[in-house]
Amino acid sequence: MKKPFLMTKTTFLTVLFVVFAGFSNLLKASDEGAAAEEINMSDVIIHHVMDDHQWHFTDHLVLPLPIIVYSSENGLDIFSSSNFFNEHHQEVEYNGYKLEHNHITLADSGEAVLDLSITKNVAMLLINAGLLLFVFLSVAKAYKTNAGKAPKGIQSFLEPIVVFVRDEIVKPNIGNKYETYLPYLLTLFFFILFGNLLGLLPGAGNLTGNIAITMSLAVLTFLITNLSGNRNYWSHIFWTPGVPLPLRIIILPVELIGLITKPFSLMIRLFAAITAGHIVLLSLLGLTFMFHSYTVGVVSSLFVMIITLIELLVAGIQAYVFTMFTALYIGMATEEHGSH
């Protein structure tokens, strides 16, 4: 399942590269105005996949978001992000704070402040959490009202996914003690899945493609894995049994690095997969605006459609992969008897 998908993606990226190469040659030949727009486009794309202090739907529809900052000098301050912009959408200082490239600093000293603002991604995070709560509480309710009957509605749609996570991801990787970790892994799976899918909506923030989000999830995986690690697990790391003494000394640092690389790979994988998908989609859409051409618009729209379908697949696969690896690491940490 995964391999053909990767191949498809590679093929598409190759096609994309060829298209880009061809267009960039065209651009060199054309006037410099187009070149200037291309630079703008990359800014637009990066801006879109990153976090922001306001929710920018279109140039005329911008949702201001609450700013929550704390500094030892000024204490806690809460105000709307619209205060940072004048009527010409230019960034201005407000109340001694300055917003520059999405970083809030103190205007006088230029020192950074603790920024706990409800940014676009925090808003997405809250929407995602709210949606998860709403959906799964109603599913849980359906189990009560529908007790002893066949599932129906959203309950019957989500039940196979819950059972899939339980039977195909958690049980085989963790084994007997899977029930302890199942609620966490279900939350993780559906958080990533819903986040990925919400991120594909037009105007939505790139929640699961944000490195802060993936890092937090990876840190939680790291903590759970190592806090539930048993004697067997730690003895494998610090004093690998069945290996000659000199090798044990070499293995020790490798194992210690391994502790970090496992969650690190989780963090990078999810971030890269989702952000890359968004960048590809935006680049294809951007082509239309770069060339001011209907033909390019039609062709790139077709590509966008196909890539969007692939992104739907990626949304599921990445949720599966993150959960599966977390379950695998927990399984390795709680395994009773080593294979040696």
Partner 1 sequence: MDLLSPGTGLIVWQLFVFVLLFLLLSKMAWKPILNSLKERETSIQQALDSAEKAKLEMASLKSDNEKLFKEAREERDKILRAAREAGSRLHDQAQMEAKKNADKIIEDAKAIIRTEKAAALRDVKAQVALFSIEIAERLMKKNLSNDKAQKELADSLIKDLKLN
- How far is it, in rounded angstroms, from Cα 329 to Cα 20? 40
Q: Which of 42, 156, 216, 261 binds partner 1 (CB under 8 A)?
A: 216
Indicate which single residue of 217, 266, 304, 327 sits in contact with partner 1 (rule: CB under 8 A): 217
The packing angle between helices 32-49 and 245-291, to 10°, is 130
Amino acid (one-letter) located at 190: F
- Regarding 122 and contact with partner 1 (CB under 8 A), the answer is yes
Of 27-35, 184-192, 228-236, 242-250, the window that binds partner 1 (rule: CB under 8 A) is: 184-192
Integer angstrom CA distances of residue 87 from 74, 84, 173, 334: 27, 10, 56, 59
Site string for partner 1, 237-276 (x = CB under 8 A): --------------------------------------x-
**Given the complex with partner 1, which of 117 and 173 has the nearer CB atom?**
117
Q: How far apart are CA 9 and CA 50, in angstroms?
A: 23
Q: How many residues does the chain have?
A: 340
Q: Is 247 exposed, middle or buried (0-12, 13-18, 19+ CB in 10 A)?
A: exposed
Residues 39-78 that bind partner 1 (CB under 8 A): 46, 49-51, 68
In the complex, minimum distance from the CB of residue 176 to partner 1, in angstroms, rounded to a whole number: 15
Residue placing its CB nearer to partner 1 in the complex, 207 or 285:
207
Burial annotation 282-303 (CB, 10 A radius, 16+ → b, else e): bbbbbbbebbeeeebbeebeeb
284 binds partner 1 per the rule CB under 8 A? no
Angle at 266 between CA 264 and CA 267, to 5 degrees: 65
159 near partner 1, judged by CB under 8 A: yes
Return d(Cα 317, Cα 184) in angstroms, integer.
18
Q: Select from 117, 283, 326, 334 the one that contacts partner 1 (CB under 8 A).
A: 117
Binding to partner 1, residues 7-46 (CB under 8 A): 46
Q: Which stretch binds partner 1 (CB under 8 A): 16-24, 71-79, 127-135, 295-303?
A: 127-135
Which of 262, 235, 265 lies closest to 251 in space, CA to CA? 235
Which residue lies nearer to partner 1 by CB, 51 or 311?
A: 51
| Smallest gap from residue 105 Cβ to partner 1 (A) | 13
Q: Which is nearer to partner 1, 75 or 246 (CB)?
A: 75
Sole binder of partner 1 in the list 16, 27, 34, 129 (CB under 8 A):
129
The secondary structure of 218-240 as a DSSP string is HHHHHHHHHHS--HHHHHHHHS-
12 contacts 307 by C-beta, under 8 angstroms: yes
> Which residues are near partner 1 by CB under 8 A?
46, 49-51, 68, 101-102, 114-119, 121-122, 125-126, 129, 132-133, 136-137, 139-140, 143-144, 147-148, 159, 162-163, 166, 179, 182-184, 186-187, 191, 210-213, 215-217, 219-220, 275
